[in-house]
Copies of this chain bind each other. A is one copy, B any other.
Amino acid sequence: MGIHTFFTSLNDLERIIRAPGRFKFEEHNVAAHSWKVSQYAMLFATIEERAGQTINWKSLYEKTINHDFAEVFIGDIKTPVKHSSPELKEMIAKVEEGMMEKFILTEIPEEFQEVFFDRMKEGKDDTVEGRLLELADKLDQFYESFAELKRGNSDPEFAKMYRIALTKLLNIPLKASVDYFKNVMLHDVMSEETAIDVQEITRQVLGDK
């Protein structure tokens, strides 16, 4: 009970593997994922700031660092489930919220409960920081699926995951960031040799718009 319990639970997230059950050439844990999301957000927030947006950096980093903490309670629910059922997605969100509340009330000392409630709440809101989190989270899904396709993973789930992540990325209302991703970074991504034809999927998604 107490902060020691909380700190110990962080270690649990190193053992929660993303996209459980699928064959993957490389596995990723939720702790490392959260770090990469923070790194992506750092760069795109810089781009947005230069484009004139005001960034609440404290909020941004706390959103990215904490956004998947709730997976410590129920793990990374399999992707196809999330894709195929909005009711289930919502139900899972509710369960996570309930577990989180119980965890904070039980484990976190009273003096810190308020900050925990604030920091651990769903971060993907309509603020610029919420959108940057959404962008960075989708970008990691983009990179994870791209890496599998590049190495020849022919499980159709990864092509689907790539297609969905890319589509969502391109539609996030952060003009400067999406432009940079689409016009600069995507070019570099597409110039890589890949075992499965990622260029074709990418062109399809770009054409659909």
Interface residues of A (CB under 8 A from B): 1-8, 10-17, 20-23, 25-26, 28-29, 31-32, 34-36, 38-40, 42-43, 46, 57-58, 61-62, 65, 72-78, 80-81, 84-85, 88, 91, 95, 98-99, 102, 109, 112, 115, 119, 139, 143, 147, 150-154, 180, 184-185, 188-189, 192-196
Contact = CB atoms under 8 A, between A and B. Distances in A.
A11 B22 CA distance: 9
B75 A7 contact: no
A99 B1 CA distance: 37
A115 B180 CA distance: 17
Given A21-B75, A38-B61, 18 more contacts: A2-B184, A2-B188, A7-B185, A11-B23, A11-B36, A12-B22, A15-B20, A15-B23, A16-B21, A20-B75, A31-B35, A32-B32, A74-B77, A74-B81, A75-B75, A75-B77, A88-B98, A193-B196
A152 B195 contact: yes
8 contacts: A4-B185, A12-B21, A13-B32, A35-B38, A35-B65, A73-B80, A88-B98, A154-B194
The quantity of this chain's copies bound in the complex is 6
B154 A5 contact: no
Contacts of A95: 81, 85, 88, 91
Contacts of A62: 42, 61
A207 to B, nearest CB: 22
Contacts of A189: 4
Nearest to A39: B10
A17 B193 CA distance: 26
Contacts of A13: 21, 32
Contacts of A42: 62, 65, 119
